[in-house]
Structures are given as C-alpha cells and as structure tokens.
Structure 1
C-alpha cells in the first residue's frame, strides 16, 4: 500500500498542466508547415494532350517532308525540285495536321462533355447536389490548342530536311546530310517527348528513329523503282 509520503512526492494535476512543460513537438510541426505551399503534382495525363500533338506533329513533319524530298530525289537530282516538293509538303501537311487534330480533339471533347452531363444528372437523381463537373472543366481537351500545336510542330519538323538540303548542290552529299540531320532530329524529338512525359528515353528515341528511317527508306526505294521503270 502506498504511503502518504509517496503520494505527496507526486506532482499534482495542476503542475502537469503547466504550459511550459507541455511538449511542443506537434505545435512546432504545425508552425513549420505554415507558409509552406503544398507541392503541386504534375498531371501527366493533362500534359499528354498537347505533348502528343507536339511530338506527333514534329515527327510527322520531319518524316513526311524528308521522305517526300527523298522520293523526288530518287528520280530528280536537282536541288530545286527537292526544295519545291518539300515546301509544298510542309504547307499541305501543316494544314492537314491542324484540321485533323481540331476535328479529332473536338469530337473527344464532345464525348467527355456529354458523359459529364450524364454523370451530373445521375447524381441529382440520387440526391447528390454537389457539382463536381465545374472543377473539372479545365481538364477538358482544347481543340484550338491541339490544332495550333500540331501545325506549328509540323512546320518545325519539316524545316529540318528543308534547311539541310537547301544549300547543297552535290546530289550525293545532299542526300547524306538530309538523312543524317533528319536522324539526329528524330532522336531529339523522341528524347523531348520521353522527358516531358516521364517515359523511357531510350525506347522512345529508338521508336521514333527506326520508324522515321523506315518511312524514308520505303519512299525512296519505291520512287526509285518507279523512276527506273520509266513510268
């Protein structure tokens, strides 16, 4: 049985509630967090909307224009024919990419808006009056943005083979420089797309490079056969 002296040596409840003796770890943690803004996580799905249009447009512009120039170069060795064909391909391709991307993304936007309306109607029927769709409006795909990015990136990609072949008169050297610079640009486009999208870099670069070289080789080979056949 505890003695009276033992009880007397114990601190009272009043002494325990002394503010100077209260641990302040949690309080300090709260104060340390005041004024610190939470780190905003990057929405890579949202970024993919314009990233897909940019990388696809640049790669398509480079491959299409380079393949067209090499196809013409397979039967015509003068630099003028290659430049005119490449420029025409750049303009036509940029317009085609912009219109196609606008129509495609607008269709996707209409589908998402219709689905959000159905979800909202179902919530209202179930008694849920909260409007969650308002906070998600900024996540809808932007057709004009996708079209503009596609057209601009296509012209940037097409400018690589055009500029690489514009000032070279020797036919063999012109083709070699065109292939070399186009291959380098394809690797760069694959690297940029992988870094911005947090995807495997080597796999992305190889995929873009091999696909581009294959397209150029097929175009050159078929055009060469047609030229040799005299059609």
Structure 2
C-alpha cells in the first residue's frame, strides 16, 4: 500500500498558472484599478455639464416666466451658455492651478524637488480641467437651447424644455456614476432633484417679481 502511495506521488505535478481560472486575474486587475485618478477630469466634466444644463435652463425658465417671446428665451440661453462656459473655464483653471502650486510646494518641503515622470502624471492639470469644464458646460447648455429653438407655442416650449432637461440630467447622473463606479440610482436622483429645484425656484421667484410690477 505504501508503494502505491509513493508511485502516485511521483506523478503529482504542480498546478501551473495556466490551470488557474482566468477570471481570477481579471478580477484582480479590476480590483487594482484606481478610479480616484479619474476624479479630476470627471469632476470637472460632470460639474460643467450639470451646471450648463441647469443654469441655462433655469435662466430660460426665469425669462419665460415673465416673457413668452421665444426670441427672448433663446437670447437669454445663448448668453448664459457663453458667459457660463467662460466662467467655468476660468474658475476651474484658477482652482486647479492653486491645487497644483500647493502640491508642488509640499513636494519641495519633503525634499522631492525633482519630480519623476510617473509622479507628474498624478499632478493636477489646470488646462485639462478648464477645457473639460468649458466643453461640458457648453454641451449641457445646448440641451435646453435646442429643445426650445423650434417651438413657438409657449406652454409646449416650456414643457419640452423641462422634459429635455430631465432626460439629460438622468443621463449625466448615470454617466458620472458609471465612469466613477458609483451607485447609479443615487447619482441620478441627486442630479435630477437638484435640477428640478433650481428651475422651480428660478421660475417661481422671477414670476413673483415680475407680477409685482418691478
């Protein structure tokens, strides 16, 4: 019996990497993916898109509360797009550049004046953040502008704007959650409720002030 056991042990081969499940390596790579590296441009892009969508739609809704003229709404939305995109780009550039200065100063204090290439990739990029923010703002602002451009009836125009903004808010919230590996439903709800509140408050206050004869 002992001889048979020894003979069997002679034919025991070590398990190679090829025999291990392929899914294990895939899961390991997924677990090692650092999604926090996306936070810089993702934050700028999502914030810019949401801000462009909500602020432009709110401006158009506010003007629409006191003036039903389509030309007034379109001009207001276009002015909001241009001004908002410039403001977002400049604000994001200044903010990220300040963060960059702080991180570089910290490295010098830690006697790391010579930054390696891999470390430079992790440093914030002001131009990238500003460009992403301005582009995303413009894309978001185009939604209510396009929704209202070809509708002459006032009530239908307002309804289409609200519907288009609602759909876009859900898409932006879902996209940000997917790219950042965050819960999609919670992200969509936060973005959607915030956008609705902004439009409702702007419309209501403008309507109230307009009805008072100011």
- Does residue 178 of the first structure (1) align with residue 166 of the second (2)? no
Q: Provide the C-alpha distance between the structure 1 equivalents of 2:129 and 2:45, rounded to a whole number of angstroms.
A: 8
Q: Is the 8 A contact 1:160 1:181 kept in 2?
A: yes
Instruction: Indicate the structure (1 or 2) with the bigger Cα radius of gyration.
Output: 1
Task: Tell me which residue corresponds to 2:213.
Answer: 230
**2:63 alignment partner, one of 72, 84, 93:** 72
Q: Provide the C-alpha distance between the structure 2 equivalents of 1:61 and 1:39, rounded to a whole number of angstroms.
A: 36
- 1:133-152 counterparts in 2 under 5 A? 134-152=117-135
Residue 120 of structure 1: how far off its partner (Å): 2.7
Q: Provide the C-alpha distance between the structure 1 equivalents of 2:169 and 2:34, rounded to a whole number of angstroms.
A: 26
Q: Provide the C-alpha distance between the structure 2 equivalents of 1:45 and 1:173, rounded to a whole number of angstroms.
A: 43
TM-score by length of 1: 0.80
Deviations 1:145-182 (A, max 9, x none): 00000000000000000000000000000000000110
Task: Tell me which residue corresponds to 1:25.
Answer: 14
Cα RMSD (Å) of the superposition? Answer: 2.7
Task: Tell me which residue corresponds to 2:105.
Answer: 114
Task: Tell me which residue corresponds to 1:62.
Answer: 53
How many residue pairs match? The answer is 205
TM-score by length of 2: 0.86
- Does residue 85 of the first structure (1) align with residue 76 of the second (2)? yes
Residue 205 of structure 2 aligns to a residue whose secondary structure is helix
